[in-house]
Amino acid sequence: MAVRERDLLTTSEAAVLLRSSRQHVVDICERGLLPYVKVGAHRRLRRADVEAFLRPELTRDQLKALWLHRAVAGRLVQDPDAVLAKAATNLERLRRVHPDGMAAKWLDRWRVVLDSGVEAVLDMLASRAPDAIELRQNSPFAGVLPEAERRAVLAAFADRWRSAHAA
C-alpha cells in the first residue's frame, strides 16, 4: 500500500506528537527506534508509526520479551562491558547459523545497535517501538540473566498478566 504524502510527518510534526524536541525525533530515527523514509534530503515519518511509538499494543509474547529485556537492561547498567561482550559473542554465533534471510537482517540490525553504544542498546531493550519489538524476537542476550533471575522475571510477568486479564 502506497503511503500518501499527507500521511507523512516532518520530524518537527512528529516531535509535537511525541512531546519531544525535533532533535530527539532525529536521534530515535537514527537509532532505528522509529522508522522513516527520505523525501529528498528530509526525513518523513508515517503518522501510524509515530502513534504506535507512543503506545503500541503488544501481544503476550511481545510483552514477556519486553519484561525479560528490561531485566537484561538492568544487568547492562550494572556491568556494561560483560553484557555487551556476551551479546557480541552470541551475535557472532547466531550470524553463522543464520547467514541469510530475515533473521540475518535483524541480527545485522543488532550489530548496528551494539556498535552504537550502551545508550542505544538500553533504548532498544526497553522500547515499545515496532522495530524494537521485532528486533527482540532475534535477541543476542541469551545467557545474560542467571537462570534464577530469568525464572523470577517470568513468574512476575505471569502473575501480572493473570491479574490484568482476570475475568
Same domain, 72 and 139: yes
Provide the domain count of the chain. 2
Strands (E), the chain: 8-9, 37-39, 42-46
- End residue of a domain, out of 54, 75, 95: 54
Same domain, 50 and 94: no
Span 114-127, pLDDT tens digits:
999 999 999 999 98
Q: Report the CATH number at residue 35.
A: 1.10.10
Same domain, 13 and 67: no
Span 95-147, pLDDT tens digits:
999 999 999 999 999 999 999 999 999 999 998 887 888 899 999 999 999 99
Same domain, 40 and 65: no
Boundaries of domain holding 13:
5-54
Global pTM exceeds 0.85? no
Same domain, 40 and 74: no
Write out the DSSP string of 26-68: HHHHHTTSS--EEETTEEEEEHHHHHHHHS----HHHHHHHHH
Same domain, 23 and 101: no
